[in-house]
Amino acid sequence: MLPRAFYRRPTEVVARELLGKILRHGNCAGRIVETEAYLGSSDLAAHASRGLTPRTRVIFGPPGHAYVYLVYGTYHCLNLVAEPDGTPGCVLIRALEPLEGIAEMRQRRRAAGLRDIASGPGKLTQAMGITRAQNGVDVTRGSLTVIRDRAPARFEIEATPRIGIRHSVERLLRFLVKGNPFVSGAGRLG
């Protein structure tokens, strides 16, 4: 598992370095191929920019924990908390390349194609069985965790604007594995 020190760094660095790592939950695992960085008060698109509230307290807490919330009343989004304790910052996991537990993920998703299983933040939480029950859990131990690839492949990182936000649209805080077919729909263009 990645140690806490991995997460205790600038959010943008953690977002880049999570690419190529493997997210595991129980029997299911996938390679992270797309992330987005959400910073502190300077980043109007980030939940934490509004300050410390009951909801955002996890983002202000110690690094290496999961921040899970419900979007649009329907889907969950998984973030990993970065920065030292007391400093806000988190990384949204946006897409996975399915590796293990594929049958189980496909069943939860009711999706036929491999490319539709986890190519989006709401899709991957549904595939992996991640809900608000995982909000605040420590990902440096336990069943929800991130590990290194045993034989990491070389790849290029592409930085683009983030998806689906209304503020700070111009900042290049979305990162993806260039050319990977499992990134979310909007990223495949270009």
Partner DNA sequence: CAATAGATCATCT
Partner DNA sequence: GATGATCTATTGC
Query: What are the residues whose beta carbons fall under 8 Å from the beta carbon of 136, sequence distance 6 or more?
Result: 58, 61, 65, 66, 67
* C-beta of residue 18 within 8 angstroms of C-beta of residue 82: no
Interacting span for DNA (CB under 7 A) from 22-30, 40-48, 144-152, 174-182 = 40-48
Per CB under 7 A, does 70 bind DNA?
yes
Q: Is 188 left (phi over 0), alpha (psi -120 to 50) or beta?
A: alpha
Residue 143 Cα to chain centre, angstroms: 16
- Give the side-chain half-sphere CA count within 13 A for 84: 0
Window contacting DNA (CB under 7 A); options: 3-11, 51-59, 152-160, 171-179: 51-59
* Closer residue to DNA (CB): 116 or 138: 116
Q: Is residue 18 at the binding interface for DNA, with CB under 7 A as the rule? A: no
Identified binder of DNA from the candidate list 5, 27, 41, 55, rule CB under 7 A = 55
Contacts (CB under 7 A) with DNA, residues 119-178: 120-124, 162-166
Stretch that binds DNA, among 14-22, 53-61, 137-145, 150-158 (CB under 7 A): 53-61
* Residue 114 near DNA by CB under 7 A: no
DSSP class of 136: T
Specify the 3-state DSSP secondary structure of 152.
Answer: coil
Interacting residues with DNA (CB under 7 A): 36, 38, 45-48, 50, 53-56, 59, 67, 69-75, 77, 79, 90, 92, 109, 111, 116, 120-124, 162-166, 184
